Structure formats: structure tokens, C-alpha cells
Amino acid sequence: MKQIIKCYDIAKPYIRHAEIPYVVLLTKIDELSKLVRDDVTEVFWCPTVKTAVKNVTEKLGMTINTVHPIKNYEKEIVLDAKLSHLALVALDQIIGFADNFLLKKRSSISDKSWRDVPNFNEKNRIALMSKIAHYSVPPNVNVPEARILMIGPIGAGKSSFINTINSIFNERITNQSNTGSAVRSLTTVYRQYQVRCGLNGQVLKFRLCDTCGIEETKGPSLTDLDYLLEGNVPDGYNFNTSSPISRETSGFLSHPRLKDQIHCVVFVLDASTVQVASKSIWNKLNQFQTKLNRKEIPKVIVLTKIDTLSDAVNEDVSAVFHCSKVKKAVKNVSETLGVPINNVWPIKNYETEVCLNDKVSNLTLLALDQILGFANDFLIKKEASFHINPWRPSLFTHETQESLMARIEGFKPPSVLEVFEARILMIGPIGAGKSSFFNTINSIFNGRITNQSNTGSAVSSLTTVIL
């Protein structure tokens, strides 16, 4: 009995987790009673066997009809119909349970897809690769490439996602970015990866920025995220929790431009552990997400390791949008982070594979296509808000330099005042640019750079006489 309980305790977490049905075979019943030993049909009349079965059901919390008292063949040399009968009854139930289990497993895979996507075939993979290979940021935006930031807990698959994309475009499994399953983040350096298209060697017009993993008390903080988003952090920055990113960080970009900023953020989460992630990790993720909302930076969630959610998906990744378990995981993440469900991409990274697979590649390319599209939406919005709402109506477009000069040349004070010219007093701190402003005006009307008025950067004023 003790042995049964011990075995059960070891197996319980696994079988419960996988919802595997189980039965108990209570063997050696012949040793419990002489009556049973002489005639095994006595088994269901024997009080000792009944007590043994009851004991098992109570200790293991099972129903009585899933505990089968049996007697195995051991010393016998010919079959005995009664012994066989007992074993067959048990086996019949075992097979029935297994059948139910398999039916239930199958039912997580439905014929109907929960997201409409193109077929995961070679043709569509090549079409998506070509689309992404020809991707560029909007033409009127003065930015050479889209910048995508990967963010998420340790081991979620951020670096693996970058490797998967790199592998697809190199048409072989690569390991450009450091991946692994260490407890501490393997990625300790902020790296901006470019992807080269193996077909023609061209560098694709996006950069994937890999960060170290978020931890409960370590990893990028909210302030670090701010610097990362604004583009202050140099490529190669060494994440160091004892000295967070600051203006003193070596290589800190003090005046980042739109090209240095992040144009889309990818939250990478592990589908197999996301539901059991600690409250503090969720809090961090939610704070990060609020910051992105405030800055109106688009985000996409990549839910990795979907192969671990379902055997059917593990065998054939194209079952992903037919699998109710994956759908449930996507819905959960979308609701917890408040991100639309169609911005959550369940994916499988290349990790143990030695060759590429159209299904895995198609799935990743679909996610990447959305990410790049979102980056472009952000850039178009940034560019539009810059041009449509300047903080002061632009003079460059309405008045040409000549017409402004003509208006100034034609200036006369109102004649009634008997004043022939306006007198302007320049006043301001030393070195503010009073004399230089005079020189600037003089230069414009002379058509060449003049230095009529004394300018410079001395500590005491260079201008000592009122002109």
C-alpha cells in the first residue's frame, strides 16, 4: 500500500497536469485469502479484498470502479478463464479511458481555423519573404530602417525569435544571437541585429534590438525602457543592474533622432509558463505597456513555445490556428495585457531543428509582417504630426526670402510722426548674440558674410560702444 501511495505521489502532478486518466491494478489478491486462492471468482465476495480496494480508493481519492483486483499468471502453466476474465475487465476499462483521452486531445484540434491565414506552404513562404525583403519605411520619412525592440522575461525566446528570423532569410539554421535556458539572462548586452537576405546578400530595412530578460527585481527598469525607446542607448551597451542606464553611460546618445528611436515593440512571452508568471513580472509588463500606450508606440505580442502546449501542434505547427489550447493562451494574454487578440502571434522558434520548415517559417513571417507594418504606421503618424501640426505655422512655405527682404526694404515709419527710421535697441546677456544678429542682418542685405559689428566669445563684453 505504501508503495502504491509513493508511486501515486510521484506521478500525480504529471498525470493531473496532462489530464491523463488512470486506474489501479491491485495484484496478488490470491495472497489475501485462501478462498480467493482456491477460486478467484470469490474475489467479489471476499471482505479482505473489499477492504483492500476501499483502502486504495480512499487513500488515492479514486472511485471504486477504477480499482481492479487481479491475479496475474505466475506459476500457472495453462490459462484459466477466470483469471483471464479479471485481467480483461481491467484492460477493457484501461483501453476505454485511453480512447476517451485521445478523443479529448483530438477535440482541442478543430477543423475550423480560429484565425484566417494563408496556407503554410512554400509558395506563401516565398511570397512573404519577398514582401519583407522589399520592405522599406515610408518614402517621405527620413529614417533608413525600422527599429524593433524585443522585450520579455528571461528564457521567453527573444533571442531565439531573432535567430529564427535570421535563419529564415539565410535559408539555414543560424545562431546569430545568444540563446539558451540559463536561469540568469544569457543576453547581457543590448544588441541591434540586422538581417542579411541570403538570397542576394542585401541588408533588410529593419533592426531587431535584443534586451536582457525582465526579472522580478532585475532586468530593464521603467527608466531603462524609456531610454531604450527614445534611442538613447548605444548598440553594445552592457546591461548592468548595479548601474542603470543614465546620461553618464558610455556612448549615451543625448540627442537621438527619429531614426534612433524604437518604432515598434515586441513583447515576447513563453506560452508554457505565461499563466504561472509571478505577479511582479505581470506588474512590470503592465507598466511597460502603459508607457508604450502613452508614447503611442505600437506593440505586438509574440507567444513562443506553442509546441509545448499541444502534441498536435508539436507534430504539425500548421495546426496552431485549429488548436483551442493555443487560442485560449492567446486570449488570456490579450486580455491580461489589454492588447487586441489579432496583435498576439503564437509562434514556434527554431531551437532543436537542423533544417528549416515551411510551416514554422510561414508563422514567424506572418508575425514579422505585422510588426513591420505597425512600425510603418508609427513612422507615418510621427511624420504627419510633424508636418501637419508644426508648433508655429511655417514661414518657409508662404513667404520667400526675396519677398520678405522686399517688404523690409520698403519699410517706412508712418510719415505723420516725422520719424525717418525705427531705432531698435539690442539688449541681453554677454555672448547672447546681439552683435551677431546685427551681423546676420547686415550679411543678408549685403549678399555676403560681413563682420561689421564686433562679435566673439570673450568673458567680458566685446561691444563697449553704443552704435
Q: Which residues bind ligand GDP (CB under 6 A)?
A: 152, 154-160, 179-181, 185-187, 213, 268, 304-305, 307-308, 348-349, 351
By beta-carbon proximity to ligand GDP, the closer residue of 349 and 455 is: 349
By beta-carbon proximity to ligand GDP, the closer residue of 157 and 298 is: 157
Residue 164 touches Mg ion, criterion: CB under 5 A? no
Which one of Mg ion, ligand GDP, none interacts with residue 435, CB within 5 to 8 A by kind?
Answer: none
By beta-carbon proximity to ligand GDP, the closer residue of 152 and 231 is: 152
Residue 83 CB coordination number (10 Å): 16
Residue type, 58: E
Choose the binding region for Mg ion from 62-70, 82-90, 108-116, 179-187 (rule: CB under 5 A).
Answer: 179-187
By beta-carbon proximity to ligand GDP, the closer residue of 145 and 215 is: 215
Rg (CA), the chain: 36
By beta-carbon proximity to Mg ion, the closer residue of 55 and 188 is: 188
The torsion angles phi and psi of 24, rounded to 5 degrees, stand at -115, 135
Least Å distance between CB 214 and ligand GDP? 9
Residue 166 touches Mg ion, criterion: CB under 5 A? no
Give me the sign of the Cα torsion angle 171, 127, 265, 277.
negative
Least Å distance between CB 155 and Mg ion? 8
Least Å distance between CB 153 and ligand GDP? 7
- The answer to whether 167 and 188 have CB atoms below 8 angstroms apart is no
By beta-carbon proximity to ligand GDP, the closer residue of 60 and 356 is: 356
- The answer to whether 83 and 43 have CB atoms below 8 angstroms apart is no
Which one of ligand GDP, Mg ion, none interacts with residue 305, CB within 5 to 8 A by kind?
Answer: ligand GDP
Least Å distance between CB 225 and ligand GDP? 16
Least Å distance between CB 101 and Mg ion? 37
Residue 187 touches Mg ion, criterion: CB under 5 A? yes
Which one of ligand GDP, Mg ion, none interacts with residue 219, CB within 5 to 8 A by kind?
Answer: none
Residue type, 168: I
Residue 148 CB coordination number (10 Å): 25
By beta-carbon proximity to ligand GDP, the closer residue of 305 and 434 is: 305
Residues 6+ apart with CB under 8 A from 216: 278, 280, 281, 284
Least Å distance between CB 186 and ligand GDP? 5
Residue 159 touches Mg ion, criterion: CB under 5 A? yes
Least Å distance between CB 260 and ligand GDP? 23
- The answer to whether 341 and 332 have CB atoms below 8 angstroms apart is no
Which one of Mg ion, ligand GDP, none interacts with residue 333, CB within 5 to 8 A by kind?
Answer: none
Which one of ligand GDP, Mg ion, none interacts with residue 94, CB within 5 to 8 A by kind?
Answer: none
Residue 349 touches Mg ion, criterion: CB under 5 A? no
Q: Calculate the alpha carbon distances from 217 to 233, 241, 245, 295, 371 in Å.
A: 21, 9, 16, 24, 29
Least Å distance between CB 320 and ligand GDP? 11
Chain positions contacting Mg ion, by CB under 5 A: 158-159, 187
